Structure formats: C-alpha cells, structure tokens
C-alpha cells in the first residue's frame, strides 16, 4: 500500500509543469537574441525554478517558505517574459514559515491564474496565503481572460485534488468559483 502511494505521488508530480520549461527557454532565447538586459535575471529565475523542481519536488514534504519562494520566482519569471505586464499582488501571513507541506500543493493555482487570467494594473492577480498553527488558507483570484478557458482543467485540477486526497484526506477543501468575469480558487487545509 505504501509503495502504491509513493508511486502515485511520483507520477502526479511528474505531470506538473511539463512544457513550461520549453516556453520559458524560447522566451529567454528571444531576450538573449535581442540583447535584453533582463536575460540574465530570467536565466537566474529559471535556474531557481529548475532547482526546486529537481530537488525539492522529490521530497515528500518541504518548508512552506520554500514553496512560497518557488511561487515568487515563477511570478517574477512570468513578469520578465511578458515585459512586466503581469501585475500580481501576493500577500503572505505565515505564523510558522517552517510549516511543512507537500511540494506543488499551492503553485498549480498560481500557474493557472498566470496562464489563463487577464492581467492589468486595474485587475491584478490577487494571491493571499494565511497560515496559522491550525489552518492554511490559500486564495487566488484573477480576471477571466477573454480568449482562454479559465480553469485548471484536465490534469491540473485532477492532479491537485488527488494529491490533496493523498496528503490531507478529509482535512482539505478546494472551492472554485466564477463570478461575473472573475475566477477564484480557494484552498483550505486543516494542519492539526
């Protein structure tokens, strides 16, 4: 049974982020080609992301602060790729930054908002993370893009829900809502 659980977790982790690297490398190639002064920063952010993907994602649990750092690097890289046209308000309240969670429990919701949302100065992506000793609440809200389907869709949401069920059976709730032209994903995890 334990072997099946570990196999499932490794399989689910492997599905996360499959073509992100290729798109990012193409954008960095373009930055280098046009001699952008942001090329080196983009390479550094991609390096941070790849380090997390290579090392931290292999662990069953990581410090919550490591997942937050990964999300921040991911956001910064997206901002570089889109010439800073991506505005994200990321508010974090951690009572215990050493709280441990499985890797990639929060980031798929952020990746979804960046991929499918429409962002402007008046309509930033709003991300809130509040962690007490008993509960983790993670909320991501974005304006729905006009030309893109705004849902985690297929593998993303199924993957996240399966991983939550494995790690937090009957101790989590994920709520996805569409109101007018906004998409909100809210995740609650009971940490007790």
pLDDT of residue 15 exceeding 60, the answer is no
pLDDT of residue 61 exceeding 80, the answer is yes
Q: Is residue 182 helix, strand or coil?
A: strand
User: Looking at residue 179, what DSSP letter applies?
Assistant: E
The pLDDT tens digits of the residues spanning 120-160 come to: 778 899 999 999 989 999 999 999 887 545 444 546 777 88
Range of the domain at 135: 2-190
Q: What is the pLDDT of residue 7?
A: 58
Mean pLDDT of the chain: 84
Q: Per-residue confidence at 72, pLDDT binned at 50, 70, 90?
A: very high
Q: Which pair of structure tokens corresponds to residue 55?
A: 């090392």
CATH number of the domain residue 97 falls in: 3.30.565.10
C-alpha to C-alpha distance for 110 and 125, rounded to whole angstroms: 9
Using the structure block, give the residue that is written with the tokens 């849902």: 151
Domain count, the chain: 1
C-alpha to C-alpha distance for 62 and 51, rounded to whole angstroms: 13
Counting every residue written for the chain, the total comes to 192
Using the structure block, give the residue that is written with the tokens 């050493």: 98
């Amino acid at each position: 049974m334990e072997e099946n659980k570990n196999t499932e977790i490794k399989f689910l982790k492997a599905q996360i982020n499959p073509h992100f690297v290729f798109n990012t490398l193409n954008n960095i190639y373009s930055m280098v080609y046009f001699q952008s002064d942001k090329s080196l920063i983009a390479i550094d952010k991609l390096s941070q992301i790849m380090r997390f993907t290579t090392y931290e994602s292999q662990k069953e649990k990581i410090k919550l602060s490591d997942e937050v750092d990964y999300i921040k690097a991911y956001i910064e890289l997206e901002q570089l790729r889109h010439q800073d046209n991506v505005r994200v308000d990321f508010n974090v309240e951690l009572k215990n930054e050493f709280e441990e969670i499985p890797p990639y429990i929060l980031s798929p919701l952020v990746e979804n908002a960046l991929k499918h949302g429409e962002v402007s100065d008046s309509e930033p992506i709003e991300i809130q993370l509040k962690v007490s000793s008993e509960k983790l609440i993670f909320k991501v809200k974005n304006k729905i893009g006009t030309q893109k389907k705004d849902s985690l869709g297929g593998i993303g949401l199924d993957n996240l829900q399966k991983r939550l069920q494995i790690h937090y059976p009957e101790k989590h709730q994920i709520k996805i809502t569409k109101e007018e032209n906004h998409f909100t994903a809210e995740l609650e995890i009971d940490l007790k």
